[in-house]
């Protein structure tokens, strides 16, 4: 993991970090490691909030959990989801849809999708904070892991969704997304998968297979992007991250 990736995917700024997209694109296979770091930080925050609040206050704990997570990651991926929704729902040609997606003003589709996304995320975060209370002390074991490790899996899965989208491509237009698509390769994708599944397998055992949700989400978002825009972009990557993250967390909560 490098300073440039932390600067791109989170709000963590280390001395000497840069915003070199070409450098970041060449290191895209390390995205899951950033997700691992963010997920571990989110897990710690979840355990803290789970211990501070009573079961009746889980919505408050969940809200603070999401606020803390966005303080770590920023809103760049959620912004991508909003732009993706606006562009996909727009009428007209691909050029028209691309123009809408790149428009800095949020449309109705963006507002509705982000609201629904945040409501689902809030419900999941609140549930995880509730279970964090049960995870303090002797950790209840689910596939040899505390239930709150779901945040680790979901963050890693979101980054794997981005890697999937970059590999499938193609780029919809010249811009931020094209740098990552041009440097994507099957070899880098294989490394990303190994870096995603390896640490998660150590944490949660066979349940690490849930990371496949990220790959499926990334593929589905990319197929939709190719239909509407002719390819992928930075906004599409952001949408893939958010859908992969929440989709993984939904399945995690359901199966534990």
Label residue 147 by pLDDT band (50, 70, 90).
confident
Based on the number of CB atoms within 10 Å of its own CB, is 139 exposed (0-12), middle (13-18) or buried (19 or more)?
A: middle
Mean pLDDT of 157-166: 97
- What's the mean pLDDT in 228-252? 95
Nearest 5°: phi and psi at 137? 95, -135
192-237: pLDDT as tens digits: 999 999 999 988 888 899 999 999 999 999 999 999 999 999 999 9
pLDDT of residue 70: 93
- The overall average pLDDT reported for the chain is 88
pLDDT for 97 = 92
* pLDDT tens figures, 23-62: 888 999 999 999 999 999 988 888 888 778 777 788 898 8
pTM of the model: 0.92
Residue ranges of alpha helices (H) inside 10-149 are: 21-26, 31-52, 58-73, 76-89, 94-102, 108-135
pLDDT at residue 141, rounded to an integer = 47
């Amino acid at each position: 993991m490098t300073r440039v990736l932390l600067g791109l995917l989170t709000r963590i700024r280390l001395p000497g970090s840069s915003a070199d997209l070409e450098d970041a694109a060449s290191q895209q296979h390390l995205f899951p490691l950033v997700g691992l770091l963010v997920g571990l930080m989110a897990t710690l925050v979840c355990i803290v909030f789970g211990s501070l609040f009573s079961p009746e206050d889980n919505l408050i704990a969940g809200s603070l959990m999401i606020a803390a997570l966005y303080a770590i990651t920023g809103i760049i991926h959620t912004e991508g989801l909003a732009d993706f929704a606006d562009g996909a729902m727009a009428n007209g040609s691909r050029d028209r849809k691309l123009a809408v997606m790149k428009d800095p003003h949020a449309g109705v589709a963006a507002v509705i999708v982000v609201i629904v996304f945040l409501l689902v995320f809030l419900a999941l975060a609140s549930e995880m904070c509730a279970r964090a209370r049960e995870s303090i002390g002797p950790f209840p074991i689910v596939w040899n892991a505390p239930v709150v490790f779901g945040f680790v899996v979901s963050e890693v899965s979101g980054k794997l969704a981005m890697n999937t989208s970059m590999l499938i491509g193609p780029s919809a237009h010249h811009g931020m997304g094209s740098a990552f698509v041009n440097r994507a390769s099957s070899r880098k994708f294989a490394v990303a998968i190994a870096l995603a599944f390896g640490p998660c397998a150590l944490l949660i055992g066979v349940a690490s297979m849930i990371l496949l949700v990220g790959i499926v989400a990334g593929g589905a978002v990319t197929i939709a992007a190719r239909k509407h825009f002719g390819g992928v972009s930075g906004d599409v990557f952001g949408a893939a991250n958010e859908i992969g993250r929440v989709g993984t967390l939904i399945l995690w909560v359901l199966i534990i």
